Structure 1
Amino acid sequence: MVNGVFMMLAAVFSWFYDEDVLGQIILAGTVAIGSGGIIMFLTRNHRKEIQKREGYIIVTFGWVFMALIGTLPYIFTGAIPNFTNAFFETMSGYSTTGATILTDIESLPNGILFWRSITHWIGGMGIIVLAIAILPLLGIGGMQLFAAEAPGPSGDKLHPRITDTAKRLWLIYVGYTLAETILLKMAGMSFFDAINHSLSTLGTGGFSTKNASVAYWNDKPMIQYILILFMFLAGTNFVLSYFAFKRKFQKIFKDEEFKMYGLFVVGLTTIAALLIYFEADVSASSIAHPMVWGPAESAFRHALFQVVSLITTTGFISADYTMWTPFLTIFFFGMMFLGGSAGSTSGGIKVMRHLIMIKNGVLEFKRTLHPHAILPVRYNTKAVPQPIVFNILGFFILYMLSFIIGTLVFSWLGLDFKTALGGAASTLGNIGPGLGNLGPVDTYANLPSAAKWWSSFLMLIGRLELFTVLILLTPFFWRNR
C-alpha cells in the first residue's frame, strides 16, 4: 500500500509534465494499494505476535514482494516491458544498489524517472528502520552491538519506543532530502534533477536522471561538492545526526566508528588525489568539462567524489576511474568492501565490523604473549561480548564466501573474469558500478537473463545483511520447533 502511495506521487510528476503514461502509473498505484488493502483485510484477525522465525520470513519476503509490486510502473508504461529487466531495476532501486539495465535514461518519462529514484529513498529509510528495530532483535551480523550503542536501554537512546525512534529518523531523513534539494537547485540543477538526485543520495543508491550520471555536471563543481556532503551524511550513522541536532557533539566525536569512517575518507582521498594529479589523465576519463577550477582542484574533487561514492556504496560517478591507472582501478575496487557506518543507508560490510575485526586481530597478538590474560575487545570504551565478536567474524567470512561464489557463478554464466569480479563485488555490496563490461560508464543491459536474476539475489542478500536471507536456505530453519 505504501508502494502504491509513492506510485501516485510519481503520477503527480507525470501529470505536471503532461506525459502520456499518466494513466498507466495511476493504474499501477491503484493495483498496489488495492492488493495491499485486500491482504490487510483478509489477515486482520490473524495473530500479531512475531517470533524470530517469522521475523526472518517477513523481512526477506517483504523485500521480495516490495520489488515485485515495484515493477508495475515499468511494465504498465512499457518503459521496461521485459519482466526480468523490470525486476532487476526495481531490486536495484530498493536495495539502493543503483545498477541499471537502461541504456538511454534521458528518454524515459519524468514520472518513471521519479519512481526509479523514489525506490532508492524508500529502500534507504527501510534499511535504517531495519538496522535499528529488527536486525538487532534477530541478532543479525553483529547489529545487536549497534542496538546497544544507539537505541538500546541506555540513557543515550533516541526514545524508549522503536516506533518513536523510527519517526525521529524519518524526520532527519526527510529534512536532509529537502535541504539537499534546495542546495542542488541553488547550485544550478533543475528542480526535477535536484529532487531525484536527493532521493538517490540519501538512499545511497546512485540512480541519476542523466546518462552520464553526475559527470553531466562536471562544469559545476559546487553541485558535486553538495552531493559529496550528503553522501557522507547518508553513510554516517543516522543516530549521530540526531545527536548533532540535539547539540550533543561530544557523542559524535567520541564515536570510534565515525572517527574511522572520517579517517578512511581523508586518507583514501589524499592517496587518490595525489595519484590522479601526478599520474592520471582526468580529461580523458571525464565525460565533460573536467577542469573548471584548475587541475589540482579537479584531481581533489574527482578523488573525493569517487572515494565517498564508493565507501558509502552510493555509486554516483564523476569520471571513469577505470581509465586512470591500473593501481587506482584496484584501489577503488578495494573500497567496495568497506561500506559506510552501521545505522546508515550504506551497504557493504560496514566500518564498525572492520574496526572490531582489526581490534580483535591486534588483541590476538597480545593473547599469544599473555595466554592467561583477559583481554576483551572494546568499542566506545565498552567491552564487546564475545558472541558478538564471533558473529562479526562469521559475517565477514560469509560475506567473502558469498563474493567468491558470486564471482564463480557469474563466470559460469559467461562473464569474463574482470567483469565477474566487479559484478559480484558491486551487487553484493549494493554499489552499482563494477569493473570490465560493468564499469562506471557501462550498464547491466547485456547480461544474460540468468545473470540478472543472480545479480538480484546478490543485491537482496547484501542489503539484508546475509544471515536474514541465507538462514531461510538452511533445512533446520524449517524443522518443527
Structure 2
Amino acid sequence: MVSGLRSVGRDLGRILEAFAVMPTASMVVAAAWREWYVLPSLLVAAVVPFAVGWWLTESYADAREPGKLHGMVIAATGWATVGVFGAIPFVGIAVSMQQGWFGAPPLNATMAAFLNPLNAVFESFSGFTGTGLTMSVHENTLPHTLQWWRSFTEWVGGVGVIVLTTAILARPGSGSLTLYESEARSEKIHPSIVSTVRTIWWIFLLFTFVSIVTLWLAGLPAWDAINHAMTGLATGGFSITDNSIATYDSPLVDFVLLPIMTLGSIAFPIHYLLLQGHFENVYEDLQTRWVFGFFAVGVAALVWLLYTGRVYHGTEAITFLGVTFTGQAAAIFQSVRYGAFQFVSAASCTGFQTASIGGSWSAASQLVVSFAMVVGAASGSTVGGIKLVRLATLLKGAAFRVSGVFYPQSAVRTFRLGDRKLSSAELTQEFEEAAIISLLWGVFLVLGIAVLLLVVPMGPDGFALENVVFEVASAQGNVGLSTGITGPDMPTAAKLVFLLNMWVGRLEIIPVLVTLRGVFRGFGVYRQ
C-alpha cells in the first residue's frame, strides 16, 4: 500500500477515535433525561468507530507525517466517515422504538423517518457540515438525547471547520490564510497548531457559555437556550422546535440571536485579538469590515423589499420592550425584524428561520437571501459559502486589472487588499484562486439545481425555480433555510445530491476534488 494511503488511514483512525468521545459524552444527557433506551445505540456509536479507528491507527502507526495534500484527503474522508458513523444513534434509537426494546416509547412519525438509513446519514451530514437542513418533521418529538446529538454535531463541526482551515487549508491566496494570518496582525495566533487549536476551543467555549446565558435571560427555557446557543454560535441552525426560532414568536429572542450569529461569522483570530484588547481590529481587519458592511447593505435591501412588497402590512399591534407598534409602524417594525434576522441568518450560514420564506416572500426577496447564502461571511469563521474575502478579491482585483489599461506597460503598480500590499504576480495568484473556487462552487450549485429540477414537482402545484435555487444554495452554503423542499419524502436523488452539496460546501471544494483525484489515480501521486 502506498505511503500516502497509510498516512491517510492512520489519521482517519485518530479522527474516529476522537469521534467516539461524542456518543460517550452524550450518555450523560441520556441519563439526565432518564432516556435509558438510547444508551445501547450510543454505546454502539462509540464502540464501532473507536474499534475501526484503533485498528487503522495501530495498523499504520509507522506511517509518515502527512503533507498538505494528504491533509486535504484526510479532511474530506474524515468528514464523510464521521457523517456516516454519526447516523448510528438516529437509526439505532428508531429501531429500538419500533421494536419496543429497552423500554423505548412507541415509534412516532418523526423517528420513523430514521428507519431509512439514508435519512439518518443526511441528518448526521447536515449536522457535522453545519447545514441544518433536516429530515425531522417534528423536532420537538425527538428524544432529548437526539435533540442534543444534533446540536452537538453542529457545535463540534463548527470548531472542526476552523481547525480544518488552520491546519490544512491555510495557504496563500483567496483568504485561506485568514485564520492563521490575519490582515491586521500578520502572525499566527500562537506559534504552533496545537496551541492555536487549544485557544480556538477556549474562545468557542467562552462564547457558547455567554450565548446560553444571554438566551436564557431573553426568556428561553434552559434546555432551549443550551441547544440554540450551540447551533447559533456554530452557525449550524438545528432547532429543537417545529418552527425553528419562529416557535417563540419573540422579537427579543430574534434580536438577541443577531449578535450570536454574527460572532460565528467573524474570523476567530479577530476574536482572539479583541479579547486581548486590540479593538482596532474591528475596523482595521478587511474581512470584519466587509462582514458588517455586507450585513448592513443586505439587511437594508431585504427590509426594503419586504416593506414595499407589503408582506407585513396589516399585521396586528406589536409590543417590544414596553413600546407598542401599530399600523405603518408595526409594518416597518416587522419588516426590520424579519428582514434583519433572515439576512443575517443566511449570510452567517446559520439557517435559523422566523419567517415563511417560501410563502408570501417575493422571488426578489428569496434571491437576495440566496445571494447571502452563496457569499457567506468571513474565512476563518464557522460559516460556509464562497466567503467575503474571495468576493473582495474578485471585485477589487477586476477593478485593478481594468484600470491597468490606462497605465503604461512600464508602470509599477501595487495592489492593496486591506493592509496587504501585493505585487502583480501575487495578485494574479490570489485572483486566480478566488476565481477557481468561485467557478467550482458555481458548477456544483448548478449540478444540484439541475438534479432538483428533474426530480421535484414544479409548476403551480409544486415549486418555483427560485425555490429550487434557494434550497440548493442553502445546502451548499451550509445554511439550512428551506422553502419546504427538504424532508423525508424528498426523492432519493435529491437527498444524494444534497449530501454532495453539503460535503463540498463545508470543505471548500478543493479537498473533495483532491480526494476524488486520489481515488481515481492512486494516492501515491501525493508524495511530497
TM over 0.5: yes
Do residues 473 (structure 1) and 511 (structure 2) align? no
Quote the Cα distance in structure 1 between the aligned partners of 2:348 and 2:317: 23
* Aligned residue in 2 for 1:411: 453
Quote the Cα distance in structure 1 between the aligned partners of 2:522 and 2:386: 25
Quote the Cα distance in structure 1 between the aligned partners of 2:209 and 2:175: 32
* Aligned residue in 1 for 2:221: 190
* Structural mapping, 1:287-306, within 5 Å: 291-293=318-320, 294=325, 295=330, 296-306=332-342
* Aligned residue in 2 for 1:166: 197
Deviates more, 1:293-302 or 1:174-183: 293-302
* Aligned residue in 1 for 2:382: 345
With over 3 angstroms needed to count, the CA separation of the structure-2 counterparts of 1:168 and 1:109, relative to structure 1, is same
* Aligned residue in 1 for 2:413: 375
Kept in 2, the 8 Å contact 1:150–1:239? The answer is no
With over 3 angstroms needed to count, the CA separation of the structure-2 counterparts of 1:290 and 1:345, relative to structure 1, is farther
How far off its partner does 1:117 sit? 0.7
* Aligned residue in 2 for 1:453: 496
* Aligned residue in 2 for 1:89: 123
Larger Rg: 2
Unaligned ranges ≥5, structure 1 = none
Kept in 2, the 8 Å contact 1:347–1:463? The answer is yes
With over 3 angstroms needed to count, the CA separation of the structure-2 counterparts of 1:51 and 1:90, relative to structure 1, is same
* Structural mapping, 1:33-432, within 5 Å: 34-35=50-51, 38-39=54-55, 42-43=58-59, 45-78=61-94, 79=111, 80-137=114-171, 142-144=175-177, 147-149=180-182, 154=186, 156-218=187-249, 220-282=250-312, 291-293=318-320, 294=325, 295=330, 296-322=332-358, 323-370=360-407, 372=409, 373-384=411-422, 385=426, 386-414=428-456, 416=458, 417-432=465-480
CA RMSD, aligned part only? 2.4
Q: Secondary structure at the match of 1:336?
A: helix
With over 3 angstroms needed to count, the CA separation of the structure-2 counterparts of 1:283 and 1:213, relative to structure 1, is farther
How far off its partner does 1:224 sit? 1.5
With over 3 angstroms needed to count, the CA separation of the structure-2 counterparts of 1:477 and 1:471, relative to structure 1, is farther
Quote the Cα distance in structure 1 between the aligned partners of 2:61 and 2:353: 49
How far off its partner does 1:479 sit? 6.2
With over 3 angstroms needed to count, the CA separation of the structure-2 counterparts of 1:371 and 1:132, relative to structure 1, is farther
Kept in 1, the 8 Å contact 2:133–2:482? The answer is no
Quote the Cα distance in structure 2 between the aligned partners of 1:37 and 1:112: 24
Deviates more, 1:77-86 or 1:19-28: 19-28
How far off its partner does 1:389 sit? 1.9
The amino acid of 2:266's aligned partner reads T
The amino acid of 1:302's aligned partner reads Y
1:33-52 Cα shifts (integer Å, max 9, x gaps): 64256336523632241123
| TM-score (ref. length: structure 2) | 0.83
Kept in 2, the 8 Å contact 1:117–1:200? The answer is yes
Quote the Cα distance in structure 2 between the aligned partners of 1:217 and 1:247: 36
Quote the Cα distance in structure 1 between the aligned partners of 2:153 and 2:144: 14
How far off its partner does 1:54 sit? 1.8
Q: Secondary structure at the match of 1:55?
A: helix
Q: Number of residues paired by the alignment?
A: 469
With over 3 angstroms needed to count, the CA separation of the structure-2 counterparts of 1:292 and 1:104, relative to structure 1, is same
1:418-457 Cα shifts (integer Å, max 9, x gaps): 443233211111111244x42xxxx432211222111111
How far off its partner does 1:476 sit? 5.5
Kept in 2, the 8 Å contact 1:4–1:29? The answer is yes
With over 3 angstroms needed to count, the CA separation of the structure-2 counterparts of 1:55 and 1:151, relative to structure 1, is farther
Quote the Cα distance in structure 2 between the aligned partners of 1:108 and 1:215: 18
| TM-score (ref. length: structure 1) | 0.91
How far off its partner does 1:328 sit? 1.5
Q: Secondary structure at the match of 1:64?
A: helix
* Aligned residue in 1 for 2:8: none
Quote the Cα distance in structure 1 between the aligned partners of 2:199 and 2:381: 14
1:354-406 Cα shifts (integer Å, max 9, x gaps): 11111011112211222513434322221242312211111111111221122
1:263-301 Cα shifts (integer Å, max 9, x gaps): 1111221222233334333389x9xx9933331333222
With over 3 angstroms needed to count, the CA separation of the structure-2 counterparts of 1:7 and 1:210, relative to structure 1, is same
1:221-269 Cα shifts (integer Å, max 9, x gaps): 2222221111001011111111110010112311111111101111221
The amino acid of 2:318's aligned partner reads M
Quote the Cα distance in structure 1 between the aligned partners of 2:48 and 2:41: 11
Quote the Cα distance in structure 1 between the aligned partners of 2:41 and 2:277: 43
Quote the Cα distance in structure 1 between the aligned partners of 2:456 and 2:197: 43
Identity %: 26
Quote the Cα distance in structure 2 between the aligned partners of 1:223 and 1:419: 27
The amino acid of 2:126's aligned partner reads S
Unaligned ranges ≥5, structure 2 = 1-16, 95-110, 459-464
Deviates more, 1:272-281 or 1:330-339: 272-281
